[in-house]
Structure 1
């Protein structure tokens, strides 16, 4: 069985040159597989490259550069032409992008890849296409690199006016919290907002975490952690590292998404960064020394190209009230259930649910949400969201599908809402199932 030596992304080097660089960590593995040794200054070694039913001459060499000792594989024009046909989608895409910018980087999420694997033949390696890493495997169209407002509006049950408003607030405030009841899709909205700012679905520019009651400043910013030898080492937290990453790419927006932001002790987690996240206190002019910083450590700041999006479940009784210090640094935006939108109705019909039953679902949930909103102990923040019904699959038996959602997801929620009024809770559940 052929063994994987390394994996390579099909990028502009495939288009512009007849060689590719071997990942540093795979150099020894490749030389071992080929049964060769090679040092800087030595002549290139002739090798063979197999692809499909073809075999081509290649060469293994170390780049002749004082600053670059990379191991590289060179190949001839004939193989280059085969690769161009083999990866026609990538090559067409790269060619078009290079017309716009010579610095184009192909996102990992849409790129095609090759595996370099061993063979039974001496000094021979094989190139294999990695189909399962292609985002849309069975299409003649290469996935779009771009993600625009139009794409976001297709993904969301939201009006253009509402989307524009959120977009504008996030752009100026830099910190927002999307608040709403269970199932309104707060996290989904957060990621689509981020992608629309970035202009593509580049996950490397989006970091997402979830706060909890034991989450600390040391987890978030930096702190001392025990090592295996019994000592303590200062380690950087996830937000610290992401800020540094964003600062190194200042021309592009980066997004830090905090799910369930009000589950943590916010003043304790943010510490002295409470001031630095303000939109007018970003950048090196407002850099400070952190709590655990040594005297010789560089000062820290939050870069201006970093945006923070928090999500907050308004129906969680266990949560503490967000303190004023944090509240004034974030804009709070309500995300509502979408049962009364035309987009949601169209979505259900597209999923193979007939219009009569679609209207049945909408009517039932508009009614129960009205009851929830009028209840003095619950209110608007407890309304049930639409995402329980946002299936990615076509629905075959939609009545059974609906019944299963009610019994396994909605019923426990309703019993929690009216935990001390069992009869009232049962009545609400029966109303949702009545008429099936």
Structure 2
């Protein structure tokens, strides 16, 4: 979402606007309150390490019993002093195990503070939703990066990088987070804050350490500590520990997106003139893996680097930087510190509301409201027509639509008829599909031949579908009915648009203003009419789209939503290796487009994939998630594993025909055929199973 000073003031200066925003972001608001509650209690909780020793011993014993192979060396950790051993009990390389076991072990002792306090605290640190107990990408405070940087790291949860997210909490005792938060509140300055025994991940991810090699695990842990100094979790805990003094966004995505906003670019411009800010040290890790830390002052960097510097700087540098940034932002909206704690809380909430949770549907809806006519474009199979119908569904004011799975059936009664039979409806919609023979006469109207029963030929004046639609909308407007009329044009680029739209190019831009139409009275497009066109960009039609028409539309690219692949299956019937399958789909699109983010892969794996991808990759060669969801049709109801036979069928019946369309005549080139063969071999090989 676009964020500048006016947008923030819109919500901060008018309580009714703020309440509407909060109402529309209930899930994020609930998360914010939950995080605030748990971390506030973490700041004040009194737990004596000695008194909790018995619970820790019981916890370790349980881990040893459940996972003897992985934890055979835990006695050494158990006998160590707290400065290494008890602070980080490695459990097993599976998500959630450490968190749930800790909660069970310490639940009784801490029940007076908060029911399931330990689990909720660990869920805050790992991005898990309190209710569904699933990772929500927008709630995470760690990216998938293995090294020192979070600014460019993806927060998309996928099998190959799930460890870096959940194992941050799985392999760290909750008391370490509590102690660190307390240290942040008491000592404030980053350089003076003691680092507690917080683990980044299970051993062997950062180095080649094996769990049964105690010395190797110690070295692995030290390396993790070095990396954590540059990562976001320390910064997150510090901001929330000092929530009464600084802005505290809810997650890494909220923090990064806010720093990238237009508003923050203006703040950075002002700070770049502040002598005190310019002298602050950045504390950046050199990206060529040198051991030294770049302690240059802000004055040595361009404004474009500020957001990255603040996100990836060493923790020692962060508190001084963020305090000045927060003070500057605060002064833009509030003249007094008399209610600073509540003001900072509200400001942090608004930032979190605006900077995360902006789905494709929310952005499409906002764009349509602003432009009145938009075009959804993207590669085949990304759900462009579905998205258009989902806008209709979202705009319908009907309490019965909650939790409706079949959008298609629900919106049927709202479809346009010659006369609107139910004035109470707040939405009227219709859909047409353009094709090469679709004409002005079909769309607007004109003189058309008519063969009578006796075989004689006559000519009649016909009204086109869009003209009828607009007449109905204009009548509704005249009657002061609060209705919106949504007209969907599927495959809009397949017709000759200049010919089909004719003089409506003017009417699109100047709503409620009449234009002369041949053979008809003057005609206008009312202000309550909204147009959604859809088009595939595989044929590069955007480049040849009529310029006069193009500037009158807002364009929105609908991308591949890998998370939607889960929705092909009922939750209780999802294949055991669904995560591996989704990862394979991502890799296939990398082979074809070269544009998928593989920064979280090890170098050896990257080179393997690089050797397979097409030489002339194009972004519009990607395959949409709807194609990948078709894997379900090749599986029996009682099958819970996607096997190579299923992948082979998906390739033959759906993927290969699409590739032939993408590549055209070049598909027969021997070099391309050979490369496609390698891609097929990789895609259809056996998936990892969980």
TM-score range normalised by the length of the shorter chain:
0.5 to 0.7
Local SS of the residue matching 2:682 = helix
1:388 is displaced (CA, Å) by: 2.1
* Residue in structure 1 matched with residue 654 of structure 2 by the alignment: 409
Partner of 2:351: none
Query: Post-superposition shift, 1:312?
Result: 1.0
Q: Is the 8 A contact 2:591 2:617 kept in 1?
A: no
Query: 203, 220, 235: which is aligned to 2:443?
Result: 220
**Against the structure 1 CA distance between its residues 216 and 377, is the aligned structure 2 distance closer, same or farther, given a 3 Å change threshold?**
farther
Residue 172 in 1 paired to residue 401 in 2?
A: no
Q: Say whether 1:433 aligns with 2:433.
A: no
* Aligned-partner SS, 1:435: coil
Partners of 2:539 and 2:587 lie apart in 1 by: 22
SS at the partner of 2:656?
Answer: helix
The verdict on how the C-alpha distance between 1:165 and 1:416 changes in structure 2, with shifts beyond 3 A counting, is: closer
Deviation of 1:366 (Å): 0.6
Question: 1:353 and 2:574 equivalent?
Answer: yes
Pair 395,172 (structure 1): closer, same or farther in 2 beyond 3 Å? farther
1:367-415 per-residue CA deviation (whole Å, 9 max, x = no partner) reads 1111222357552222101112446989624545544332211111123
Structure with bigger strand share is 1
- Tell me whether 311-320 or 207-216 shows the greater mean CA deviation: 311-320
Confirm or deny: 8 A CA contact 2:361 2:387 kept in the other structure.
Answer: no
Q: Is 1:259 the counterpart of 2:490 in the alignment? A: yes
**Are the counterparts in 1 of residues 442 and 465 from structure 2 also a CA contact under 8 Å?**
yes
What does residue 470 of structure 2 align with? 243
Residues of 2 paired with 1:180 and 1:405: CA distance?
21
Aligned to 2:589: 369
Task: State whether structure 2 residue 625 is matched by structure 1 residue 386.
Answer: yes
Contact 1:170 1:307 in 2 (8 A): yes
1:311 counterpart residue number: 534
Deviation per residue, 1:305-338 (Å, 9 max, x gap): 1110011101136887111111111111011111
The structure-2 alpha-carbon separation of the partners of 1:160 and 1:317, relative to structure 1 and needing over 3 Å to count, comes to closer
Distance 1:226 1:330 in 2: 33
TM-score, normalization: structure 1? Answer: 0.56
Among 511, 516, 524, which residue is 1:282 paired with?
Answer: 511
Structure 1 residues 319 and 327, CA gap change in structure 2 (3 angstroms): closer
SS at match of 1:329: coil
Mapped contact 2:647–2:683 kept (Cα < 8 A) = no
Asked whether 1:163 is paired with 2:361, we answer: yes
Higher relative contact order (Cα pairs below 8 Å, separated by 6+ residues)? 1
The CA deviation at 1:170 is 0.6
Corresponding pairs, count: 268
Output the TM-score relative to the length of structure 2: 0.36
- For residues 34-433 of structure 1, what are the structure 2 equivalents within 5 Å? 160-200=358-398, 201=411, 202-204=414-416, 205-228=428-451, 229-250=456-477, 251-278=482-509, 281-283=510-512, 286-293=513-520, 298-316=521-539, 321-339=544-562, 341=563, 344-345=565-566, 348=569, 350=571, 352-356=573-577, 358-374=578-594, 377-390=616-629, 396=637, 397=639, 398-399=642-643, 401-418=646-663, 419=667, 420=669, 421-433=672-684
User: Based on CA coordinates, which of the two structures has the bigger radius of gyration?
Assistant: 2
Distance in 1 of aligned mates of 2:469 and 2:649:
41
Alignment RMSD (CA, Å) = 2.6
Distance of 1:163 and 1:429 partners within structure 2: 33
Deviations 1:232-252 (A, max 9, x none): 111111111111122233321
Runs of at least 5 residues in structure 2 that lack an aligned partner in the other structure: 1-355, 399-410, 417-427, 595-613
Aligned to 1:71: none
Secondary structure of 1:364 counterpart: helix
Kindly state the Cα deviation for residue 261 of structure 1 after the two structures are TM-superposed: 0.9
Q: Which has the higher helix share?
A: 2
Question: How many angstroms apart in 2 are the aligned matches of 1:334 and 1:159?
Answer: 18
Whole-Å Cα distance in 2 between the matches of residues 378 and 361 of structure 1? 22
CA distance in 2, matches of 1:351, 1:300: 54
Distance in structure 2 (CA, Å) of the matches to 1:378 and 1:310: 27
The CA distance in 1 between the partners of 2:570 and 2:460, in whole Å, is 57
1 CA distance for matches of 2:573 and 2:537? 32
262 and 314 in structure 1: CA distance in 2 versus 1, 3 angstrom threshold: same
Contact 2:593 2:618 in 1 (8 A): yes
- Determine helix, strand or coil for the equivalent of 2:457: coil
Q: Distance in 2 between matches of 1:381 and 1:351?
A: 34
How far, CA to CA, are the matches of 1:265 and 1:378 in structure 2? 29
2:566 and 2:574 in contact (8 A); partners too: no
